[in-house]
């Protein structure tokens, strides 16, 4: 298969982790005889520094022509600390989501057996967790009218029926292929926009009689997600609740450095880790590349390359099993860097049978850990 992939590394740890995902995709292309071409483009604070614009025209055009976008991270503390800055790195990411109408963001939350003890939650609480969060990504409070002055500020949350319907159908269909449970998370006791979500989703549920729908208020959902995450199958929610709940859910998995996502529109698709730029860790080699690598696996799955994606996932599983992981997860070795994790998974893709559990043949690029 030929795939033209736009690579937007962005800011902070974005370039380091994205480089590992590209490394892995190149190994897959080689192993399975695909032709993947990669076109890099600027976004976020690094784009502002070079062009004054967080989403330059050239980036939009490269993404528009691509089959898929692989996104790193954006953000820089110098903007976080300056609430009045009018040009902000986040406009790059939000602009991409809006320009390409990437309305469905899918965030899997899976408690890996090998990482159960890394979570700050109790093993018996999280074991077996397997949730798919469907977060609406192109509307809501993120994109409503904003006003800002010294004395008053506001953000408007607007949802149109059609915006709820299109993601709701995708979420119901996803539930049909899983445990057939859909939880709508809203705040319908307070917000009018949530009341529209609840009535539209309840209406659509009639078309999916094999899926059990239940509705939870977001404050309650935040608690249930920690107390009993196994009760959830597919969670459907609006933009901001999905942002917050998915980051909360990363506690179940053990590190936010593990959570991947796919953002789907009618014509364009983007794959991105859910974590941000983590500026403090930039270029230290400590950023976990697995979220980015798993986002690449989601990219492969999107194009029906299931064997390829499962080889990537096997490589990730093996790296976790052997503790070939960055310091956010590692307690065994203290010298495994971002790029070594990428090298290990690349090596696994090239020689899936050679890598074994006895620590006798674990290649890390040119070096070997014994």
- Binding mask 192-231 toward ligand IPM (x if CB under 6 A, else -) reads ----------------------------------------
- The listed partner (Mn ion, ligand IPM, none) that binds 260, CB under 5 to 8 Å by sort, is none
Q: How far is the C-alpha of 216 from the C-alpha of 235, rounded, in Å?
A: 10
- As a three-state string, the secondary structure of 90-116 is HHHHHHHHHHCCCCEEEEEEECCHHHH
Q: Check the CA dihedral 45-139-291-117 and report its sign.
A: positive
CB of 116 to ligand IPM, least distance (A): 24
Restricting to residues 188-247, which ones interact with Mn ion according to CB under 5 A? 243
- Interstrand relation of 262-264 and 362-364 (parallel, antiparallel or unpaired): unpaired
Residue among 108, 229, 257, 276 that touches ligand IPM (CB under 6 A): 276
CB of 245 to ligand IPM, least distance (A): 10
Q: How far is the C-alpha of 57 from the C-alpha of 95, rounded, in Å?
A: 11
- Interstrand relation of 153-155 and 212-217 (parallel, antiparallel or unpaired): unpaired
CB of 90 to ligand IPM, least distance (A): 4
93: contact with ligand IPM by CB under 6 A: yes
- The listed partner (ligand IPM, Mn ion, none) that binds 90, CB under 5 to 8 Å by sort, is ligand IPM
CB of 243 to ligand IPM, least distance (A): 4
Nearer Cβ to ligand IPM, position 258 or 311?
Answer: 258
| β-pair partners for 264 | 104, 269
CB of 242 to Mn ion, least distance (A): 9
- Binding mask 109-128 toward ligand IPM (x if CB under 6 A, else -) reads --------------------
Nearest C-alpha neighbor of 292 from the set 276, 311, 312, 272: 272
- Binding mask 258-297 toward Mn ion (x if CB under 5 A, else -) reads ----------------------------------------
Nearer Cβ to ligand IPM, position 142 or 232?
Answer: 142
Helix (H) / strand (E) containing 148? strand 146-148
Residue among 75, 257, 289, 342 that touches ligand IPM (CB under 6 A): 75
Check residue 275 and report its DSSP letter: S
Q: How far is the C-alpha of 59 from the C-alpha of 76, rounded, in Å?
A: 19
- Binding mask 234-253 toward ligand IPM (x if CB under 6 A, else -) reads ---------x----------
Restricting to residues 23-52, which ones interact with Mn ion according to CB under 5 A? none
136: contact with ligand IPM by CB under 6 A: no
Q: How far is the C-alpha of 24 from the C-alpha of 273, rounded, in Å?
A: 15
**Closest residue (Cβ) to ligand IPM?**
90
SS3 263: strand
Nearer Cβ to ligand IPM, position 276 or 327?
Answer: 276
Q: How far is the C-alpha of 145 from the C-alpha of 128, rounded, in Å?
A: 41
Contacts of 304 (CB under 8 A, 6+ apart): none
Q: What is the dihedral of CA 291, 278, 142, 91, to 10 degrees?
A: -110
- The listed partner (Mn ion, ligand IPM, none) that binds 3, CB under 5 to 8 Å by sort, is none
Residues that bind Mn ion (CB under 5 A): 243
Residues that bind ligand IPM (CB under 6 A): 74-75, 90, 93, 243, 274, 276
């Amino acid at each position: 298969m030929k795939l033209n992939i736009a690579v937007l590394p962005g800011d902070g740890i974005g370039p380091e982790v994205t480089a590992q995902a590209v490394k892995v995709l190149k190994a897959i292309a080689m192993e399975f005889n695909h032709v993947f071409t990669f076109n890099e483009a600027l976004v976020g604070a690094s784009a502002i520094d070079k062009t004054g614009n967080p989403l330059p025209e050239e980036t939009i055009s490269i993404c528009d022509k691509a089959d898929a976008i692989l996104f790193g991270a954006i953000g820089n503390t110098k903007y976080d600390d300056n609430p009045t800055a009018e040009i902000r790195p986040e406009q790059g990411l939000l602009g991409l989501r809006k320009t390409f109408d990437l309305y469905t963001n899918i965030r899997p939350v899976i408690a890996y057996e090998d990482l159960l003890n890394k979570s700050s939650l109790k093993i018996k609480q999280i074991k077996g967790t397997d949730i798919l969060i469907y977060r609406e990504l192109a509307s809501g409070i993120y994109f409503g009218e904003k006003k800002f002055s010294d004395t008053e500020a506001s953000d408007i949350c607007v949802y149109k029926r059609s915006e709820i319907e299109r993601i709701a159908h995708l979420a119901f269909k996803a539930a049909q292929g899983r445990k057939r449970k859909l939880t709508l998370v809203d705040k319908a006791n307070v917000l009018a926009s949530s009341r529209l979500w609840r009535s539209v989703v309840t209406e659509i549920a009639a078309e999916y009689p094999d899926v059990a729908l239940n509705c939870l208020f977001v404050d309650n959902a935040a608690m249930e997600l920690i107390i009993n995450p196994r009760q959830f199958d597919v969670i459907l929610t609006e933009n901001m609740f999905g942002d917050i709940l998915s980051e909360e859910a990363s506690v179940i998995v053990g590190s936010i450095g593990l959570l991947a996502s796919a953002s789907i529109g009618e014509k364009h698709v983007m794959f991105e880790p859910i974590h941000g730029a983590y500026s403090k860790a930039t270029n230290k080699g400590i950023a976990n590349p697995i979220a980015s690598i798993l986002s690449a696996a989601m990219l492969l799955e999107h194009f029906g390359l299931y064997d390829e994606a499962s080889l990537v996932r096997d490589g990730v599983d093996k790296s976790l099993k052997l503790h070939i992981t960055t310091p956010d997860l590692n307690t065994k070795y203290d010298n495994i860097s971002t790029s070594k994790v990428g090298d290990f998974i690349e090596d696994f893709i090239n020689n899936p049978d050679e890598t074994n559990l006895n620590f006798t043949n674990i290649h890390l690029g040119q070096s070997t850990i014994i």
